Amino acid sequence: MTANDADIGPDLTPDNMLCFAIYSANHAFSRVYKPLLKDLGLTFPQFLVMAALWVEDGQNVGAIGEKLCLESSTLTPLLKRLEALGYVTRNRDPDDERQVRVNLTVDAKKLRKKSLAIPGCLLAASGMTGKDYMALQRNVARLRDALLESAANPP
């Protein structure tokens, strides 16, 4: 390992690895979210599921999983917890009994109003301008899509 090896590409030092930056930023987001979600009684993944349902109510488990990149083995227990909290209902679709429709409750709609302040808190915690924040969002989303594409079609 010579002094300028770091210049020629990624190495095995966590601090130089993009995957570690993403991994640790994910944990850091969870940590910032924790007190904000405490009042709502939600975890961060539960909040993401609620956010997906606020965009479109009445999705089935598969649609939510597709949007959030999660499997039914993760979502089924999580949705049962949201149901126990009184934020969603889970019902088999009468037209196709294989599917489970997830619907928001009245409480969930109240929750949405309380959550509207959260994105601003996150932006503030990032110390970034809105412009840089959204640009980074797009770059990371593009990276994610390229990685998923590569994982699905291994070289």
Q: Which of 5, 20, 92, 114 binds its own copies (CB under 8 A)?
A: 20
- Quick one: what does residue 115 bind among its own copies, DNA, none, with the CB cut-off 5 to 8 Å set by partner type? its own copies
Site string for DNA, 65-104 (x = CB under 7 A): x---xxxxxxxxxxx-x--------x----xxxxxx----
Site string for its own copies, 91-130 (x = CB under 8 A): ---------------------x--xx-xxx-xxxxxxx-x
Query: How many residues can be counted in the chain?
Result: 155
AA identity, residue 29: F
Question: In a 3-state reduction of DSSP, which class is residue 113?
Answer: helix
Site string for DNA, 9-48 (x = CB under 7 A): --------------x---x--xx--x--------xxxx--
Distances (CA, A) of 73 to 62, 69, 80: 11, 12, 12
Distances (CA, A) of 31 to 26, 38, 44, 50, 126: 9, 11, 9, 19, 12
Residue 32 CB contacts under 8 Å (≥ 6 apart), including other chains: 121, 122, 125
Instruction: Report phi then psi at 125, rounded to 5.
Output: -65, -25
First to last CA, the chain: 29
* Closer residue to its own copies in complex, CB, 98/131: 131
**Site residues for DNA per CB under 7 A:** 23, 27, 30-31, 34, 43-46, 60-62, 65, 69-79, 81, 90, 95-100
**Site residues for its own copies per CB under 8 A:** 9-29, 31-35, 44, 48, 51-52, 54-55, 67-69, 112, 115-116, 118-120, 122-128, 130, 133-134, 136-141, 143-144, 146-151, 154-155
